[in-house]
Amino acid sequence: MSPTRAEPDPARWRVLPVCLGVGFITTLDVSIVNVALPSIESSLRAGPTQLQLVVAGYTLAFGLALVPAGRLGDAGSRRTLFMVGLVGFALMSLASGLAPTDTWLGVARLLQGVSAGVLNPQVVGIIQQQFSGSERGRAFGAFGATIGVSTALGPLLGGLLIAAAGSAAGWRWVFLVNIPVVAVLLPFAWRLVPGPPPHAPGAGARRLDLVGLGLLGATTLAVMMPFVTTTGRGDDASRWWWLAAALAAGVGAAAWERRYQRRTGDAVLDPHVVGLGSFRNGALLGLAYFAGFTGLFLVITLYLQDELGYTPLQAGLVGTPFAVASGISAWFSGRWVARWGRQLVVGGLLVVLVGVVAADAVVRVLGDRPGAVGPALAAVLLVAGAGSGTVIAPNQTLTLSEVPVTRAGVAGSMLQLGQRIGSAVGISVVLAVYYGGLASGERAAHAAGRALVVTIALVAVALVVGLLDLRSRRAEDRRTRRANA
């Protein structure tokens, strides 16, 4: 046996279901609430601003908490943050489900998003810390399957809960359903979540770059605000000034981080991580893919419910084949990524592209036939789901493959932050195109088709990034072989 190969430790695998459970519920809450908005509106007499806060507040707070939480986790507080985030998520889910007013619900959702943002970097850090080599690929494969399935199943589970409990109270169970899940996870997390590596360099003694964290938080807030606060109807053009603030904060953050790194060697944006081509390309690919991936389900759900009269449950069932196929292929992709690498991601993106193009064709050709469009969309989404499962998890594995364990939390949080920003941008653009088409008098099927073209373009961007990264990796392999010849 090689002296560098660790003995098998069953505890590594026992903690993985806890991590997957956390990934499932925190990602689920991004999409499950969408089908409940009409019920929330009528039950709490919520206005458009309050409803926007319920949806966007969670995503915004989720994104803002990621990098600081990842940094603190890397500094030795991973287990503590995991437990605090899990308890906080349960309490804020309870507060959301019992909310007496729309304002109460909006604030609870903000704090629920903070809890999710605290939890997720710890999950990625634990996987990086506990697994290596092919085992890490399998672990990230399971995690990627969980993210894909939870995102796609959100509308279906929300529809089931509303159908079972009724429109008046069903929306409350969209949030309360998290409580029993956390109740099961909590004792296992207390027992199984590991502390920091005992011999990690600088564990527990690293500087916290508070100014850098603040500037990065301001940049994140300013980037996400114009996208998460839009209804897609062109109602507030002044929100785009946030992007100017984002540029200023980003420039300030970059300047500060360079100076701080020279002075202390411990900046949040570690140049050794940001300078890795594998990390940069993977993060960009993830941003573009999540923009198209999330927007796909939004436009289909809106079209089926608002224009064709599908119930939330029926609309959710249309996306179920995507979730099933994505989960299965993601599970196997964890084993395939060690052999095929970036080729696996590129192949998956091609399959997704075929599925989304087919979805566009279905909507345009069968869009006026409610009885036919649902089953046809379910069939083509099955194809897209099979491809998606070989994109998310392998990309995460490849993106973090060269990142040191001591930087795993902040690197994973930066990767997930890109995914959250991508989702916000994709949703904003898709909504603008869809509602813009309806406002101009287009047929609903044509407006939905134009919105799907946006998702096609975003997936194509991810494919181009994947091809460029594949080319770069092959060139590096050739240089390595020549150097060793």
- At 389-440, the pLDDT tens digits run 899 888 988 888 888 777 777 788 888 888 888 888 888 888 888 888 888 8
Mean pLDDT computed over 148-156: 78
Q: Under 8 Å CB-to-CB from 245, ≥6 apart: which residues?
A: 218, 222
Does the pLDDT at position 72 exceed 90?
A: no
The percentage of the chain sitting over the pLDDT mark of 70, rounded to a whole number, equals: 93
Backbone region of residue 441 per phi and psi (left: phi > 0; alpha: psi in -120 to 50; beta: other values): left
Does the pLDDT at position 315 exceed 70?
A: yes
In tens, the pLDDT along 77-89 reads 889 999 999 999 9
- Rounded to an integer, what distance in angstroms lies between the CA atom of residue 135 and that of residue 336? 11
Mean pLDDT (the chain, rounded): 83
CB atoms within 10 A of CB 11: 11
Question: Does CATH number 1.20.1250.20 belong to domain 12-194+209-476?
Answer: yes
The pLDDT score that the predictor gives to residue 346 is 94
- The answer to whether the CB of 390 falls within 8 A of the CB of 347 is yes
The pLDDT score that the predictor gives to residue 105 is 92
The residues spanned by each domain of the chain are 12-194+209-476
The pLDDT score that the predictor gives to residue 3 is 38
- When pLDDT is cut at 50, 70 and 90, the band that residue 94 belongs to is very high
In tens, the pLDDT along 165-174 reads 887 788 899 9
- Rounded to an integer, what distance in angstroms lies between the CA atom of residue 55 and that of residue 468? 35
Does the pLDDT at position 16 exceed 70?
A: yes
Does the pLDDT at position 195 exceed 80?
A: no
The pLDDT score that the predictor gives to residue 10 is 62
Q: Which residue has the higher pLDDT, 197 or 426?
A: 426
